[in-house]
């Protein structure tokens, strides 16, 4: 399946942290991008993308579309060979109504965007931004794997609307994506499953969870200590690259775990301290499990979360992303250093 790079590419959630990097790289390749935003009048949210067209040979057009509105993506998909569906709410705190805030937009959004692909004869490839949390829900799930490592063959079977609702939203949305893709044979679905994404942002937005988490570290929110929980970590620029390779490589198919490194929360603090010695009030201690049970609820961590994640390790197999998409992962140290550098340069933390 040959993709004509001169045809427009539809990217949903254009103003987002990850989508902005995807669009930057597409514009640098001279592509024409149709980027969907929720509010076209709020130009501040996507001005950075318009500005990029002045420095590149690419073109950018903002299109208003909401995940919850059926038909919103239909016109924008016409004439595109590639759709990259990144838009989905990524929130981990302040969740009062998981169905309304997370599950419905993730699921309905997938139906609407992939429905638009079905209606546009031109579409050949859809790249869906899922997550590793569609593969596992809690670190404890690792004990159920055959070889003690998460691979693309696993699905998150432990998250529910009340326990890990964000992970649940990503799982049901990706499953729906495969169901819609398998019901037709004109376009191919390729899925990117990022772990926790860090690295410099192209905007000074603070409301994206990845950026807000890094700011929490730098502003001393965690200075009393952090629970011993681990994640996969990946650079935002590697995620953007993976989307583009998934779109343009003929043989790209299936799911792709994107994990550049593994780290605990304390491990992130250690990397910041190494790059910026004595500059920030970083957590130096790990809170033990008993303490995590006690203080967890203050950070929005339920007892169930603590029991199934604190003190448990994680392991991912990222070989498919390396072999099939050619990802050469940016080192964790560089991701952290350049993320802090950007936040300082944008005046979001004291430099
Ligand atoms: P982000 O900066 O918060 O971007 C999310 C995007 O989704 C925003 O552009 C937002 O639009 C859009 N969106 C949310 N609800 C919408 C709705 N109802 N209608 C239309 N658009 C809507 O987060 P991100 O980190 O870039 O996340 C992008 C994707 O990557 C998501 O699918 C997320 O689940 C996935 N992911 C992220 C990470 C990570 O660590 N960052 C890891 C794994 C997977 P507005 O600008 O209008 O709010």
pLDDT in tens, 200-229: 999 999 989 999 999 999 999 989 889 999
CA distances in angstroms from 207 to 72, 93, 179, 190, listed in the order given: 24, 12, 32, 28
Mean pLDDT, residues 317-323: 98
Phi, psi of 62 (to 5 degrees): -90, 135
Kindly state whether residue 3 falls inside one of the protein's structural domains.
no
- For the segment 79-125, what is each residue's pLDDT rounded down to a tens digit? 999 999 999 999 988 889 999 999 999 999 999 999 999 999 999 99
- Quote the pLDDT of residue 298: 66
Write the DSSP assignment of 261-289 as a string of letters: EEEEHHHHHHHHHHHSTTTS----SEEPH
pLDDT in tens, 24-56: 999 999 999 999 999 999 999 999 999 999 999
The pLDDT of 170-174, averaged and rounded, is 98
DSSP H or E run through 60: strand 59-64
351 has pLDDT over 70:
no
Query: Does residue 4 form part of some domain?
Result: no
Distance of alpha carbon 78 from alpha carbon 117, whole angstroms = 8
User: Does 253 reside within a domain?
Assistant: yes
Q: Which residues, other chains included, contact 101 with Cβ-Cβ below 8 Å and sequence gap of 6+?
A: 89, 91, 95
Q: Is residue 168 part of a domain?
A: yes
- Which pairing describes strands 188-194 and 286-287: parallel, antiparallel, or unpaired? unpaired
Quick one: what percent of the chain has pLDDT higher than 90?
A: 89
Residues 6+ apart with CB under 8 A from 349: 215, 218, 219, 280, 340, 343
The Å distance, Cα 203 to ligand 1 centre, comes to 14
Q: Report the residue among 24, 88, 173, 258 best suited for mutation to probe ligand 1: largest number of ligand atoms under 8 A from its CB.
A: 88
Q: Answer yes or no: is the C-beta of 18 below 6 A from any ligand 1 atom.
A: yes
Residue 236 CA: nearest ligand 1 atom is 41
Residue 66 has a pLDDT of: 98
Task: Work out the number of other CB atoms within 10 angstroms of the CB of residue 87.
Answer: 28
Which atom of ligand 1 is nearest to 166's Cα? 34
Contact (CB, 8 A) for 283 and 265: yes
Q: What are phi and psi of 194, to 5 degrees?
A: -75, 150
Instruction: Name the helix (H) or strand (E) containing 323.
Output: helix 319-325
Give a yes or no: residue 351 inside a domain: no
| Cβ 98 under 6 angstroms from ligand 1 | no
Predicted local confidence at residue 162, as pLDDT: 94
Phi and psi for 330 in degrees, rounded to 5? Answer: -70, 135
Cα–Cα distances in angstroms (integers) from residue 111 to residues 62, 72, 229, in the given order:
21, 11, 33
Which of 82, 44, 88 has its CA nearest to residue 62? 44
Residue whose Cα lies nearest atom 3 of ligand 1: it is: 208
Work out the angle at residue 38's Cα, subtended by the Cα atoms of residues 36 and 42, and round it to the nearest 5 degrees. 105
In this prediction, residue 299 carries a pLDDT of 65
**Residue 292 pLDDT:** 79
Looking at the predicted structure, is the pLDDT value of residue 175 above 90?
yes
Distance 14 CA to ligand 1 centre (A): 9
Residue 330 sits in which domain range?
9-345
Whether residue 131 has its Cβ less than 6 Å from ligand 1 = yes
What's the pLDDT score for residue 176? 98
pTM recorded for the entire structure:
0.97
The predicted model gives 281-300 an average pLDDT of 80
Which residue, 341, 238, 255, is CA-closest to 18? 238
Evaluate if residue 290 carries a pLDDT over 90: no
Residue 326 falls inside a structural domain? yes
- Is the CB of 217 within 6 Å of ligand 1? no
The total of structural domains in the chain comes to: 1
Mean pLDDT score across all residues of the chain = 95
Report the alpha-carbon distance of residue 38 to residue 16 in Å, rounded.
11
**Tens digits of residue pLDDT in 113-167:** 999 999 999 999 999 999 999 999 999 999 999 999 999 999 999 999 999 999 9
| Phi/psi of residue 103, nearest 5 degrees | -70, -50
Percent of the chain with pLDDT over 70: 99
Mean pLDDT along residues 176-190: 98
* Rounded Cα–Cα distance for residues 58 and 148 (Å): 44
Single out the residue of 236, 235, 287, 229 nearest to residue 263, CA to CA.
229
Residue 274's pLDDT band, with cuts at 50, 70 and 90, is very high
Q: Is 108 in the pocket of ligand 1 (CB under 6 A)?
A: no
For residue 227, being part of any structural domain is answered with yes
Look at residue 17 and tell me if it is in a domain: yes
201: domain CATH number?
Answer: 3.40.50.720
Q: Which of 14, 16, 107, 265 to mutate to test the pocket of ligand 1 (most atoms within 8 A of CB)?
A: 16
């Amino acid at each position: 399946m040959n993709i004509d790079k001169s045809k427009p590419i539809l990217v949903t959630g254009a103003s987002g942290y990850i989508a902005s990097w995807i669009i930057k790289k597409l514009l640098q390749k001279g592509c024409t991008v149709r980027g969907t935003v929720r509010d076209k009048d709020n130009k501040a949210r996507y001005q950075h993308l318009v500005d990029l067209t002045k420095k590149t040979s690419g073109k950018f057009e903002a299109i208003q579309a909401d995940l919850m509105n059926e038909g919103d993506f239909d016109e924008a998909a016409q004439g595109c060979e590639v759709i990259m569906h990144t838009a989905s709410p990524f929130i981990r705190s302040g969740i009062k109504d998981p169905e309304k805030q997370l599950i419905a937009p993730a699921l309905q959004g997938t139906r609407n965007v992939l429905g638009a692909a079905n209606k546009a004869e031109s579409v050949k490839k859809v790249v869906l931004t899922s997550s590793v949390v569609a593969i596992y829900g809690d670190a404890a799930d690792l004990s159920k794997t055959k070889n003690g490592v998460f691979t693309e063959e696993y699905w998150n079977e432990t998250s529910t609307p009340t326990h890990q609702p964000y992970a649940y939203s990503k799982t049901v949305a990706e499953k729906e994506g495969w169901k819609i893709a398998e019901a037709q044979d004109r376009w191919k679905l390729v899925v990117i499953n990022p772990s926790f994404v860090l690295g410099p942002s192209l905007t000074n937005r603070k409301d994206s969870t990845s950026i807000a988490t890094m700011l929490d570290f730098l502003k001393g929110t965690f200075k009393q200590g952090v629970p011993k929980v681990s994640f996969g970590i990946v650079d935002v620029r590697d995620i953007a690259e993976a989307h583009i390779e998934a779109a343009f490589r003929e043989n790209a198919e299936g799911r792709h775990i994107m994990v550049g490194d593994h780290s605990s929360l304390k491990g992130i603090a250690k990397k910041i301290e190494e790059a910026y010695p004595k500059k920030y009030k970083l957590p130096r201690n790990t809170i033990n499990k008993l303490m995590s049970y006690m203080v967890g609820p203050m950070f929005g961590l339920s007892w169930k979360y603590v029991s199934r994640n604190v003190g448990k390790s994680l392991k991912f197999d990222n070989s498919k992303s390396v072999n099939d998409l050619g990802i050469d992962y940016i080192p964790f140290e560089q991701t952290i250093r350049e993320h802090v550098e950007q936040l300082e340069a944008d005046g979001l933390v004291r430099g």
